[in-house]
Amino acid sequence: MSTLAVEIGWGWLLALKAVVILAIVPAGALLLGYTFLLKMMSHMQSRLGPMDPGGFHGWFQLIGDGIKFLQKEDIVPAEADRRVFAMAPAVVGISTFLIFVVIPVGPRPVVANLDLGVFYALAVSSLSVIGVLMAGWSSANKFALIGALRAAAQLIAYELPLLLAVVGVVIQAGTMSLQGIVAAQQDGSIFGWSGIGNPFILTQFVGFLLFLTAAQAELTQTPFDMPVAESELVAGYMVEYTGFRFLFFFIGEFGTATAFAAIAATLFLGGWSIPGVHGTAADLLGPIVLVTKLMAVAFIMFWVRFTYPRLREDQLQAVAWKYLIPIALANVIVTAILKVAF
């Protein structure tokens, strides 16, 4: 009887965790979409953006857009591979949801504290390109196929500097667990002073810049938005999608941006931790601290998106292979030498 009770309790706990993850992704997409896509971009361009929907600064605009997409007709091209075409947005969405499984928001993990949490997060984030390729190939549209191939080439080029940027943090922390990396920063010290712990952005600032640059390319955001270049490909691999399937891609894009910002905040800014705060206080304040740091990182990412022009495809590849990867390798070597020496 007790074993059955434990199994039922475990099942309910797993279901609750799944619901939390399912709620985080669209909530993160809405938060970043409203804060940066609508408000930050409009103010940077000396305009107001939508102000009426919902009353306060047009907060209901994105929700209204989501409802509008749900009401639109689901159109599938006559020559498309219907099954693959339908599965592609789901693959992109699942990839986004899986990243949040290992992101810690407090001393107690939301879902799981994996020993290989960093490896897992970066591995599942790469799955989205499979959905992009499925969307491009199955649409029976040359613009969509070109966009998908560009996305695949971009992922291959920028996955390497992204991984190498994280290796420096892993070497310094001595663990691949995201919770362990947070603890290493919280309990660390700077030349004997532990007032703010040891956020790795101080020692891994080059890695932080590399991570943000590569993440920008992984998200296909300006200046690395060649897969969806509007002036060339209309909407790239999404050109044939309408209604709720297009909404899935939108949620996946901004949900993944939320995930990458959270990972950067965890790896380089101490994540949920506050030096000297433990126990119940950390449980309560941890999510607020992580969201604050996440928004600061996202601000930088979207600032770049709204400021710089698009790179050409050859320039995009040159940045990765000629500059980012050699710098990332040098950062790993220097970090390893200093780790052994000190």
Please give the pLDDT value at position 41.
73
Please give the pLDDT value at position 301.
86
Q: Which of 329, 5, 340, 338 is nearest to 167 (CA)?
A: 329
Tens digits of residue pLDDT in 71-93: 777 778 877 788 888 888 888 88
Q: Per the structure, how many domains does the chain have? A: 1
Neighbours of 104 (CB within 10 A): 27
State which amino acid sits at residue 126.
S
State which amino acid sits at residue 5.
A
- The answer to whether 104 and 266 have CB atoms below 8 angstroms apart is yes
- For residues 233-239, give the mean pLDDT: 79
Domain that holds residue 325: 2-341
Residue 4 has pLDDT above 50, yes or no: no
Alpha helix locations (H) across the chain? Answer: 2-32, 41-44, 61-71, 82-99, 117-125, 128-138, 142-173, 178-187, 205-218, 230-233, 243-268, 279-307, 313-318, 325-341
Please give the pLDDT value at position 209.
93
Residue 185 has pLDDT above 90, yes or no: no
- For residues 242-248, give the mean pLDDT: 81
